[in-house]
Structure 1
Amino acid sequence: MEIRPEQPGDIEAIRHITKMAFAAVEHSSQTEAEIVDALRSAGVLAISLVAIEKRDVVGHIAFSPVTIDGKDIGWYGLGPLSVTPDRQKQGIGGALVREGLSRLAKMNAKGCVVLGDPGYYKRLGFDNDRSLVLDGVPAEYFMRLVLNGSAVPSGHVDYHAGFNAT
């Protein structure tokens, strides 16, 4: 498997995989593909990686800046993360997360937040921190990972407006 930055020719495959990956997810808004498109259109996809096997895109991950109490302090949000349904639970998602976090760290990002399954993301180094709040979300599903430095901010986290895509 190869992990590389997305290319223009990957966009349709990313859209398709994202729709398939979230189709059966109970708490999904079913707008994840539109979110990726909106982030790309706004120019805020700080990192957008694809996993390739036999020349096919089998996974995608996006990272975009977040604000904390309205300020950009070098933190990013992970998501959406998508793996084609027939390839889930085979390590592709984890490989995408690890590679994306490594690239964020090299960009001197201070940290990363994620909204997702704690059982999954805690295995990848994320942890809950009640001092970081995403409005309307149970605290156990919102996690953070410090990448550079030791300071952990506190406050309300906001994702880019692209996450409001409909």
Structure 2
Amino acid sequence: MNTPVTIRPETAADIEAITAVTQAAFAAVEISEHTEQYIVEALRAVDALTVSLVAEGGGRVVGHIAFSPVTISDGTSGWYGLGPVSVLPAYQRQGIGAALIREGLTHLRSLGARGCCLVGHPDYYPRFGFKNPSDLAVEGVPPDVVFVLPFDGPVPHGTVRFHEAFRATGPVDR
């Protein structure tokens, strides 16, 4: 890592910075619908951010990661979804995203989570132990971008549904 960072839980004072980091991180991502900041806001509004960590470097928030509960059609409980994970473009490719992922997974394990799933880039997430599941899918998502990491027990079977906040398309009404 080129920039020394501290990974810590988000605070209320970080919320605006998290929004800015998330917007900037996904601004040039062609496959993004550019709603990631709204998803984080919606998860926070309904108290569904099980783990929300920031990376702080140079006295400012430069990265963020969110984990929230998922529902699995076979009834398996205790699984969480990773995402979004965001790092300011100027700080990308320095290991900050990886540090956020590792620390977030450690937090999930300490909470007794049974596993984590995500939709993400096939070349990135296997380095953290994530694998494509054979019997678990996310509706409307190609199987090569669906990943799981079991902590306790087997991989569930069926369909994963991320929290309804993942359908957010704009700011949360207050």
TM-score (norm. length: structure 2): 0.92
CA deviation profile, 1:76-105 (whole Å, cap 9, x unmatched): 000000000011111000000000000100
Alignment partner for residue 160 of structure 2, among 137, 157, 160?
157
Letter in 1 for 2:163: H
Matched residues in 2 for 1:85 and 1:71: separation? 39
Letter in 2 for 1:65: P
CA deviation profile, 1:92-149 (whole Å, cap 9, x unmatched): 00000000000100111000001000111111111101211101110000000011x2
Q: What is the match of residue 37 of structure 1?
A: 41
**What secondary structure does 2:123 align onto?**
helix
Alignment partner for residue 141 of structure 2, among 137, 147, 166?
137
* Contact 2:131 2:148 (8 Å CA) reproduced: yes
Cα displacement (A) at 1:30: 0.4
Query: CA 1:72/1:154 → structure 2, altered by over 3 Å: closer, same or farther?
Result: closer
Matched residues in 1 for 2:65 and 2:14: separation? 12
**Structure 1: where are the runs of 5+ without partners?**
none
Q: What is the match of residue 150 of structure 2?
A: 146
Matched residues in 1 for 2:54 and 2:24: separation? 15
Alignment partner for residue 63 of structure 2, among 56, 59, 83?
59
Matched residues in 2 for 1:107 and 1:19: separation? 29
Matched residues in 2 for 1:72 and 1:83: separation? 31
**Structure 2: where are the runs of 5+ without partners?**
170-174
The Cα RMSD (Å) is 1.0
**What secondary structure does 1:119 align onto?**
coil
TM-score (norm. length: structure 1): 0.97
Determine if the alignment matches structure 1 residue 26 to structure 2 residue 30: yes
Matched residues in 2 for 1:96 and 1:108: separation? 19
Indicate the percent of aligned positions where both proteins have the same amino acid: 53
Matched residues in 2 for 1:140 and 1:25: separation? 18
Q: Which runs of 4+ in 1 moved over 6 A?
A: none
